[in-house]
Structure 1
Amino acid sequence: MSKRILFTGGGSAGHVTVNVALIPKFVDMGWDIKYMGSAQGIEAELIQKLGNVEYLSISTGKLRRYIDKENLKDPFRVIKGVYQAYQLIRKMKPNVVFSKGGFVSVPVVLGAWLNRIPVIIHESDITPGLANKISIPFASKICVTFPETKKYIKSDKALHVGAIIREELMHGSSIKGLTLCNFTRNKPVIVCMGGSLGSQRINEILRRNLHHLIDKFQIVHICGKGQIDNSYSVYREYKQFEYVHHELVDILAMTDIVISRAGSNSIFEFLSLKKPMLLIPLSKEASRGDQVLNALSFKSSGYCEILLEENMDDDTFNEAIRNVFDKRYAIIERMESSESTNAVNKVVELITAIAK
């Protein structure tokens, strides 16, 4: 009888991509694979595209850093989700649960713990998010990307594994990327992305400065759901997407520099591809400050330039782009000397051992 693993994690693409990187390994080993998340979250969309993973939806709350009447309902949604997860896990009897985090994962972790199923958590950022903070006491092991994270967890459960990178990311075709966007090799390419949910502030400042940026660059703008502005379609050197799936590997293959938020999964993927970055982290006012710490860590290693959102205007935005582009060869050289941790195999071995 094959072993069974239950994955969870969602709310943003960053809480899914690590699972997407691991799932093919367990497919190859013949494991029975299931995924538990919310009914409408991005995790449902991304996982159902895989085709070989059963998706199970449960009730879940949402972490909001602002006042909203929905905050009063969320505890009841989480309680309902815990009950649903407990019942489903009791029925399926997985050997192990792997959680990438995000608020959807909390009911799953609790449901697994109540069923005495071992749980492994993955934390991408330097400081653990709230969902993982809640879940850590119920986990057997916590895999961390940054070595600094261990001091925030203060437990012998923490294990530094490094960044988990999707294998397919390494097989992009720059020719396919250029063809997809109808670009040429005559100008360098910038990819600008604000995460799976997009960033209105980055979208606005990029478009406001588009008229002179395209004198020097071709620009791919991954702007988020519902954020495409067709009035800019007149620019041949500017290509917009709401979100990209399998096309991303080819788009990144043709890219010279990246403008991005500073989510851990994304910036480690850019590092693995040796793509110089301009990072515009979410501010401490809009988040717990994890992206600022991620960006500062990469800046100290020489992999990026940082533009803080509170300092961003037309002049600082354009100057930061010029700085990254002018320094790109030196940045790439430092990236090439970075260590590869082979994190995927480390985590697969850990899961296999705990599942026994």
Structure 2
Amino acid sequence: MKPKKFILSGGGTGGHIYPAIAIANELKSRFPDAEFLFVGAQDKMEMQKVPQAGYAIEGLWIAGLQRKLTLQNLMFPFKLVDSLLKSRKIIKKFKPDVVIGTGGFASGPLLQMANMLGIPTVIQEQNSFPGITNKILSKKADVICVAYENLERFFPKEKMLLTGNPVRQDLIAIDNKREEAVQYFQLDPNKKTLLILGGSLGARRVNQLIEKELEAIVSQNVQVIWQCGKLYFEDYKKYNSKLVQVVAFIERMDLVYAAADVIISRAGASSVSELCIVGKPVIFIPSPNVAEDHQTKNAKAIVDKKGALMLKEYELDELFAVVFESLLKDEGKRAQLSENIKELAMPNATKMIVDKIETLIK
């Protein structure tokens, strides 16, 4: 029997890349002789992260539309046609059994072309409010794996499968890693640890908030691991000290989660899914600058079930200090949030998605 072949596309942010890699890893464990190819957007972070994970990748000349009239927007039709033609060439040459898209600019033209060529396609929709590309692709897709309930108004109900989002498997058992985490990050075991996550690129408003509040935070017997993002590291590395670790990127997410007592995070879909599994008290600060304000909707899905707290960016100056200090002092509140968010975890997402993919290639 000839080896199975899979093309995966996910990029732009870690939230699209890591689910694609998790799915590829699970497929590889089931089909050890399978062949894999990733397709990403040229010059985006997937062109580095995917090869680091051990997979080949090809880049498309594609980018998203800006919200205002720019030269990049005028170039979009040309980039789209070029990406569709290159996707056709890639698919014809590689001959995949299935094409899987987890979001990002390259997923659109790749899955569109796979649909046109009659190749089975799987969409993995991470957000509680899908983007326009996946809404269009869903009409021809074979399976749509979703992470939230009540998406029937966006996708054909008969194609949907509620799976949750794929997450790194090393996050599932972090409870016994606390001691290792304290040593790894050289933390004081007698102090509370605040973890700030702004996403792989960083979050400008979150960084501004932490800069403003840092002295007050540290004064409450708290040590800080501040992931400010690669776009902002040069601006904030000056705050590195014995009690504050400023980093652009965190390699050992399992250990940093194990070390954290309280987490401040954006509300990208993958982050939310990871935080449900990790089960630590979270204050979400959703980005308002994303399509359809989907981060707010992601966070609200957790907050409505009393699994986390949420502050909008416009509330930060007025409310952050009070909310953070109150959470830090209230051990019962932290324990309740931890318990509630953990109940929303879907740790078997990757296996469920790959189970479904298997049905398409039998």
The two structures have a TM-score, normalised by structure 2, of: 0.92
Q: How far 1:301 moved relative to its partner? A: 1.1
Quote the Cα distance in structure 2 between the aligned partners of 1:54 and 1:310. Answer: 42
Query: 1:231 and 2:233 equivalent?
Result: no
Aligned to 1:329: 335
Determine helix, strand or coil for the equivalent of 2:154. helix
Aligned to 1:243: 249
**Contact map agreement 2:61 2:83 (CA 8 A) in 1:** yes
**Contact map agreement 1:37 1:44 (CA 8 A) in 2:** yes
Decide whether aligned partners of structure 1 residues 320 and 289 sit closer, same or farther in structure 2, where only a CA change above 3 A counts.
Answer: same
RMSD, matched Cα = 1.7
**One-letter amino acid of the counterpart of residue 355, structure 1:** I
Which residue among 121, 128, 131 is the counterpart of 1:129? 131
Structure 1 residues 1-356: aligned runs within 5 Å = 1-29=2-30, 30=32, 31-51=34-54, 53-172=55-174, 173-215=177-219, 216-228=221-233, 229-233=236-240, 235-245=241-251, 247-283=252-288, 286-313=290-317, 315-325=318-328, 326=330, 327-338=333-344, 340=346, 342-356=348-362
**Contact map agreement 1:176 1:250 (CA 8 A) in 2:** yes
**One-letter amino acid of the counterpart of residue 265, structure 2:** S
Deviation string 1:260-319 (CA, Å, 9 cap, x unpaired) is 111111111111011111001112x65311111111110011111010112221x41112
Q: How far 1:241 moved relative to its partner? A: 1.1
**Runs of 5+ in structure 1 lacking a partner?**
none
**Runs of 5+ in structure 2 lacking a partner?**
none
- Matched-pair identity in %: 26
Determine helix, strand or coil for the equivalent of 2:152. helix
**Contact map agreement 2:131 2:291 (CA 8 A) in 1:** no
Decide whether aligned partners of structure 1 residues 6 and 308 sit closer, same or farther in structure 2, where only a CA change above 3 A counts.
Answer: same
Determine helix, strand or coil for the equivalent of 1:149. coil
Alignment: residue pair count: 351
Quote the Cα distance in structure 1 between the aligned partners of 2:290 and 2:21. Answer: 27
Deviation string 1:163-201 (CA, Å, 9 cap, x unpaired) is 322212235533343233321111111111111221111
**Contact map agreement 2:264 2:282 (CA 8 A) in 1:** yes
**One-letter amino acid of the counterpart of residue 97, structure 2:** N
Structure 1 stretches of 4+ moved >4 Å: none
**Contact map agreement 1:146 1:162 (CA 8 A) in 2:** yes
Q: How far 1:231 moved relative to its partner? A: 2.2
**One-letter amino acid of the counterpart of residue 257, structure 1:** V
Q: How far 1:5 moved relative to its partner? A: 0.8
The two structures have a TM-score, normalised by structure 1, of: 0.93
**Contact map agreement 2:276 2:343 (CA 8 A) in 1:** no
**Contact map agreement 1:161 1:341 (CA 8 A) in 2:** no
Quote the Cα distance in structure 1 between the aligned partners of 2:153 and 2:296. Answer: 18
